[in-house]
Amino acid sequence: MKWKYGFKLLSRICLILFYLIAFLTLFTTMEHITRIWFSGSSFKKSFGVYEPIFTYFDLSFNKQPELFNNSSFLILSFVSTTAFCSLLLLFLWFLQKLLMNIYKENLFLYENVSLISKLGYTILFLGTLSTYTEEQLALKVLDLLKITNAQISLSTGAYLDTIIGGVVLLLIASALKFAVSAVEENKQTI
């Protein structure tokens, strides 16, 4: 019985995080649009110096490279950021609905099969897009570094994690569909 209220609490936390990330997504979208299409505006200057954020490392330049003002780099950064924020928003939305369904009824519902499938597709497509484009950005930035007596290489393949994660969720949704069918059949025979 205690777990049931835990699902409701987690559902509410997901909803709160959803709205916070939606606000941050709006802010980062405005920043990217301003940097790409309104580069001469004073609004762009209010955002300060552009420094892309990378998941796997932190890199700061003493002087901002010209690459960070390149429109193709900014568009790639915009795609990566938008895909990542969309992934987070959809993940939190679907997870919130799933947790609320578990709280109200139980796990074995056809609606939950649909939600887990949507989670799988979201991670599969948006997660892969986000990770792949971020890797491309990181490779472009690492090409700017002039390192003597060493060599840096970035393993490109982190997007395989999101592909595997999405496929695993789709397999879980498939298995849950059979379980829900069995539960429904069992309810009808009783």
Q: What is the pLDDT of residue 190?
A: 67
6: left (phi over 0), alpha (psi -120 to 50) or beta: alpha
Closest alpha carbon to 72 in 42, 20, 36, 47: 36
Which DSSP category does 39 fall into?
T
The structure tokens listed for 180 are 């829900």
Q: What is the pLDDT of residue 90?
A: 97
Q: What is the DSSP string of 82-125?
A: HHHHHHHHHHHHHHHHHHHHHHHS-S--HHHHHHHHHHHHHIII
116: left (phi over 0), alpha (psi -120 to 50) or beta: alpha
What are 17-38's pLDDT values in tens digits?
999 999 999 999 999 999 888 8
Which residue stretches of the chain have pLDDT < 50? none
